[in-house]
Structure 1
Amino acid sequence: MSDEVYEKLAATLDKIPNGFPAVPDRSHIRLLQWIFEPTEAELASQMRLTGETIEDLGARLERDPDELKELLETMAHKGQIRAWNSSTGRRYALIPFAVGIYEEQLGRMDEEFAKLYEDYYNAAKGVGNMFKTEPPIFKVIPVNRAVTTDLEIHPYEKAEALIENARSWGVRECICKKQKNLIDEPCSYPTSVCIMFAPKRENAYDNDELTRVVSKEEALKILKDSEEAGLVHCSMNVQTGQYYICNCCTCCCGVLRGLTQHDQPYAFVKSDFLIEVDNDLCTGCGTCVDRCQFAALDVPEDLCIVTTDRCVGCGVCAITCPEGALQLVARPDRGDKVPPEKLMDWMTEKAMARGVDPSELL
């Protein structure tokens, strides 16, 4: 087959609210060619986001279900689609390129794929239309112990509580850090820091080859160790339904790089807080400057000053200040805009902002 099946798949993926923009150097096609065999790409381009049983999919596509089964299971194993068991039988669904197909290549990723992705990422300037419209896909979660004690923290900004209230926990190697390492741009931060949690299911990760099962206590320790290392907590930009917390750096993270490297305004949402300095306590030691990944802090004359429009409200600077001179306070516009309630609401808002109609994929 020619590139036609890959063009069709790329177009299908770009109809998903997350987006998958075509780029002039055609690196998007080369990326899909690495992930999908032609027969896999052809089938994926005809699948739906909501999921179908093999009988329903076969009937709609006029294909033999027995013929489809092996192919679908192979595609699910390769992280190209989602497969799960439901009360009506096993179901198969199309997933976005990111967050979705790309992250599921963690186990398969090699140097060739890492270079292909970097080419595409730079050509699309941080995955293009995903970062050019609201709502952003990620939201920064503050280090809760850095928030001044008289402020209420919304449930979706309580990282510890999201983990505490789950029923299963796991951790993955960060695919962003792995990708950068494979192109000889290694990261000095810890790498196994992507925390997965299932709010309603026990033993959710027992059969997940990419996820190491951990206890709740170990998940909480990874969260705290990530804070101490200076990594930024990020999760889904929704109020309910979160199932992961990424611990990110601006040198590797595809989302944070969208802002710091490509100046994309809607790469992610800052937290509801920003850092404040107590001038009576600050000694100008500069520890916080070294911790900040966004160049929001400086010590020009013995006191730390904050460039507020650079501060993302992560709080990693505050927890290692030797004098306790830093804390997170509410942004002046806190409450003006809240995240979408759940993922489907996010997808609806994103589709409208991008001007795409994903209805045929539902």
Structure 2
Amino acid sequence: MDERTRTASRSYQQLIERINRFPQGAPACELLERILRILFSEREAALVAQLPLRPFAPAKAAAVWRVSETEARRQLEELAARAILVDLEHDGDTWYFLPPPMAGFFEFSLMRVRPDLDQEALSRLFFEYLNVRQEFIEELFARGETKLGRVFVNETALAPELTAQVLDYERASEVIRGASHIAVGLCYCRNKMAHLGRGCSAPLDNCMTFNKVARSLIKNGSARQVEAAEGLDLLQQARQLNLVQCGDNVQREVNFICHCCGCCCEAMLALRRLAIPHQQYSTNFQARIDPARCNGCGNCLKYCPVEAITLEKGEVQTGGKAAARLFKELCLGCGVCVGNCPRRALSLEARPERIVTPVNAAHRVVLMAIERGTLQHLIFDNQALFSHRAMAAIFGAILRLGPVQRLMASRQLKSRFLERIMQDVEITDFSK
């Protein structure tokens, strides 16, 4: 390997290290570097690797990169135009941040037609990295209690007496109505599968982004702006096609809702493959089967996106009649099965305990960081300073303690630092 190749590889390795300081990272491997080489030039990789984790102003980037603020702003705008960075307006100023890979710059790369990218080659790399290998998906869906996304319940599948239990932030329709900006782009998952010849018949142009992030994507041509009426029409169409609404795991300022199919969606595929309890990803409801009504037709099996229902042969004394069986720990509570049961043997019921949804993106990121042992990177964000590197190492050691000691330390960290980080909530929008 010559010196130029070693230097280039070093830039991408530094970028990978930067990505993995965030609570939701991406396991390092040769495949990831190949993906990043398509998305970032060598120079861009070196520059982005130096950026803070939290949102920053152009003056901060200029100081880190040791260039003029004019040059820093030009570079930041170029990266935002390609949806590598997200630019946010706050009090008349523009702030930037690097979103995580998912939901973030991985998805943004396929949310529109991009002649500047080999999207077919990128799709193949994404498929191998996310669908063939286990590490990234396990990191995203199986690690920690706090999840990046959650499922929205289909209110039309609920009995009237249960609809009063659904809070506004749990309703996709209310998220759409209350958004300051609504953007629609191509579904990353189905677009990727289409490039591989594995696509399905579900619509491509229905991936929704909201609020400040939507404003950035609209401004930079990464998605088209729509009004609430069209957003609600797309939601109704998706429900009629038995697509599941998966979105931002926050109560305030929900940033995205995807309309997911069981055959292409990264989340649905991962949840089936990992076969882990889905409670933290699900709604506050779960399916219930009425055995007196069920005739064992198996229709519900075809529509459940995570295979939480099986068909079992009955006892001899009942004539061997088959019946549907629900695995409650795997149920998402999406309600798709309810609308597809010809005998009305399926309904939704409230879970025994409500699932706690983080208040906003900053709250969720801090919780994820504490659970994953990466809070030190959020607190001591400037890795260029020796004092920050030293303190980050100390906090890292605390978070690698045994379970009991780690629990005690985590509680202290939550009480002392969560409030401080939450002070930046208006501009600290870490998610897609």
Fold match (TM-score > 0.5): yes
Distance 1:53 1:170, change over 3 A: closer
Structure 2 residue 161 is matched with structure 1 residue 143: no
| TM-score for both structures, normalised by structure 2 | 0.76
Equivalent residues of 1:126, 1:258 under 8 A apart = no
Compute the displacement of 1:249 (Å).
2.0
Q: Cα deviation per residue 1:53-86 (whole Å; 9 max; x = unaligned)?
A: 3233212432222333332222111121122344
Structure 2 residue 68 is matched with structure 1 residue 64: yes
1:2 — aligned with what? Answer: 8
- The structure in which a higher percent of residues are helix is 2
Q: Which has the larger Rg?
A: 2
Query: Partners of 1:3 and 1:205 in 2: how far apart?
Result: 30
| Structure 1 unpaired stretches of 5+ | none
Query: Partners of 2:322 and 2:166 in 1: how far apart?
Result: 32
Matching residue within 42, 53, 67 for 1:38: 42
> Which runs of structure 2 are paired with 1:10-21 in the superposition (5 Å)?
10-21=16-27
Query: Partners of 1:281 and 1:305 in 2: how far apart?
Result: 13
2:193 — aligned with what? Answer: 180
Distance 1:258 1:265, change over 3 A: farther
Query: Partners of 1:354 and 1:298 in 2: how far apart?
Result: 34
Q: Which moved more, 1:315-324 or 1:7-16?
A: 315-324
Matching residue within 44, 51, 68 for 1:47: 51
Q: Which moved more, 1:209-218 or 1:98-107?
A: 209-218
2:411 — aligned with what? Answer: none
Partner SS state of residue 52, structure 1: coil
Query: Partners of 1:18 and 1:38 in 2: how far apart?
Result: 23
Query: Partners of 1:4 and 1:266 in 2: how far apart?
Result: 38
Query: Partners of 1:85 and 1:215 in 2: how far apart?
Result: 20
| TM-score for both structures, normalised by structure 1 | 0.89
Matching residue within 186, 192, 197 for 2:210: 197
- Counterpart amino acid of 2:137? V
Compute the displacement of 1:309 (Å).
2.7
| Structure 2 unpaired stretches of 5+ | 1-6, 314-320, 383-432
Q: How many residues align?
A: 357
Compute the displacement of 1:39 (Å).
1.0
1:220 — aligned with what? Answer: 232
- Counterpart amino acid of 1:143? N
Instruction: Calculate the aligned-residue CA RMSD, in Å.
Output: 2.6
Compute the displacement of 1:16 (Å).
0.5
Query: Partners of 2:279 and 2:97 in 1: how far apart?
Result: 26
Q: Cα deviation per residue 1:89-132 (whole Å; 9 max; x = unaligned)?
A: 33332221222111221233611101111222233434342222
2:84 — aligned with what? Answer: 80
Query: Partners of 1:283 and 1:319 in 2: how far apart?
Result: 16
Percent identity reads 27
Equivalent residues of 1:137, 1:268 under 8 A apart = no
Query: Partners of 1:183 and 1:266 in 2: how far apart?
Result: 28
> Which runs of structure 2 are paired with 1:1-362 in the superposition (5 Å)?
1-23=7-29, 26-87=30-91, 89-106=93-110, 107=112, 108=114, 110-121=119-130, 122-131=132-141, 132-151=143-162, 152-198=165-211, 206-263=218-275, 269-299=281-311, 300=313, 301=321, 303-332=323-352, 334-335=353-354, 337-356=355-374, 357-358=376-377, 359-361=379-381
